[in-house]
Every structure is written in structure tokens, then in C-alpha cells.
Amino acid sequence: MGATMHRVGVHRWRAARALILIACWVTFQAAAQAVRDEDGRYYAENGEPTYHIAQGGQVDWYTFNGYRRYHAACHMCHGPSGEGSMIAPPLLAPLKAMDYAGFQDIVIHGLRTVGPAQQRVMRAMGEDQNVVCNLPDIFVYLKARADGALGQLRPDNHQPKPAAAALNEAACREASRPRR
């Protein structure tokens, strides 16, 4: 008797849990979906920068650039496609939930976890123009990887570089030039 009731409860809970998961998944998918673009840069409904992959598999230029920048500045620690290494944790799972502001904060200021068993330190990269001036691009690349929208390979099928990209990068480099 008690066992039967218990089992019914478990079934209900399983059904509810499945519904909750589906609801979260739908919300999440909607959040990552690009709803508008400005000069080739795509944004999600919540205003966050995001990736765009067209029907034929062509990625937006910023996602492609993010791939290049990730491989120049992050992959030696976080692994060739964000899956982690002995030195640094994977980025794909945390990136699912992380917003751009949180991501930016970690990369610019660094992160340190000190415990009895281990000490993990990511140095602050806020002085590195190659990182700072391409940070939204690295973010959207990792989002695409985290969502499973993009594989591990270099996305060579990409949109041409928008004129705005070169201008913005030049302006960023000028603004963040170390002053002596």
C-alpha cells in the first residue's frame, strides 16, 4: 500500500520534472535566438550579444572571429573547444547560464578559487587588447559551442567582415591603449 502510493508520487514528480525541463529548454532556446542584427552583430531578445547560423550553416563574422580569438588566447588552458583541461575548467556548461556581464567580469578581472585541496587562478586579462577588443566575439563563439549549434571545427563558412567590425576594433584599441 505504502509502496504503491510512493510510486504514484514518483511518477507525478517525474512528469512534473519533465515539464519543467521542457519549459526551461524552450525559454533558454528563445533567449539564445538572434532577433536582430546591427551591422552583422546579432542580439538575442534580452539584448545579449549572440551568434547567428544561417540555413546553409554560414555563421556570422563575429562568431568566426570569436573562434580565432578563443584559439589565440584561451584554448591553451580551457582546451581546444572549451571542454577544459588539467589546467582550467570546461567553459561550455557554465556558458549556458552565464550572461555577457558575468563573462566580461571574469575575463577582465580574473578569477581565483583557493581551497584546501586546490588553488585555481585565472589571471586578469583586462590589459590584453586582443582579448578585450574581441570579447563579445569570444562570448558568442562559446555560446554557440555551449548550445551545441557549432561543432569543434573552424567555421570557415562565415559572413564577410562587416565594415563596422574594423572601425570598432580600431576605436577599442585606441581607447584601451596603455598610457605611460
Amino acid at 10: V
Residue 44's SS3 state is strand
Query: What are the residues facing 41 on neighbouring strands?
Result: 38
Give the total of residues touching ligand HEC (CB under 6 A): 22
Site for ligand HEC in 117-146 (CB under 6 A): 120-122, 125, 131, 138
* CA 25 – CA 95 distance, rounded (Å): 15
Q: DSSP for 104-119, please give it.
A: HHHHHH-EEEE-SS-E
Measured from the CB atom, the residue of 107 and 165 that comes closer to ligand HEC is 107
Residue 102: CB minimum distance to ligand HEC, A: 8
Considering only the stretches 44-52, 57-65, 112-120, 154-162, report the one whose residues sit in contact with ligand HEC under the rule CB under 6 A.
112-120
Q: Quick check: 103 binds ligand HEC (CB under 6 A)?
A: yes
Nearer to ligand HEC, 136 or 155 (CB): 136
Query: According to the binding rule CB under 6 A, does residue 107 interact with ligand HEC?
Result: yes
Taking the C-alpha atoms of residue 23 and residue 21, their distance in angstroms, rounded to an integer, is 5
